[in-house]
Amino acid sequence: MSEHGAALQTYNQELVKCKDYLFVPKRNEIVDIIYKEEAEKAVLEKNLDILQSRLTLLKKSLEHYKSVYEGYDRTIKETENGFKKILESSQTLLQLAQQEASKLDCNTNSKKAVFTEFSCVEEPHF
């Protein structure tokens, strides 16, 4: 029996050594890794919060500038349309002025003038 007791004590001592020299240091390494990763996680979460805040501000800024851009774009289109209408009106006015000038020229340059589509044509002499 004492042999069994001695063997048991030897096994017990080996288990304690194994625990003290293998398991405890490995567990402590894991604890160190956990602390380091938790610290890194905290830094990343803080950076993520900062980036999220910046992203939110940037989205609002973009929204504002897109709205301003649309306002400029609308104003430019309205101005171009107004300018086009002015050009069309000016062209019509010019055509009317030329027609009236042509009529006046026909009246002053010809004694007997017939108006055919706003141009002077003298009557044939018989």
| Predicted confidence (pLDDT) per residue in 43-92, tens digit | 999 999 999 999 999 999 999 999 999 999 999 999 999 999 999 999 99
Q: How many CA atoms lie within 13 A of 73 on its CB side?
A: 6
Confidence of residue 123 (pLDDT cuts 50, 70, 90): low
Taking only the tens place, the pLDDT of each residue in 16-42 is 777 777 777 888 999 999 999 999 999
CA distance 27 to 22: 9
Record the pTM: 0.52
What tokens does 76 get?
């430019």
What tokens does 124 get?
């044939």
The DSSP code for 125 is: P
Q: What is the pLDDT of residue 10?
A: 84
Cβ–Cβ < 8 Å for 118, 102: yes
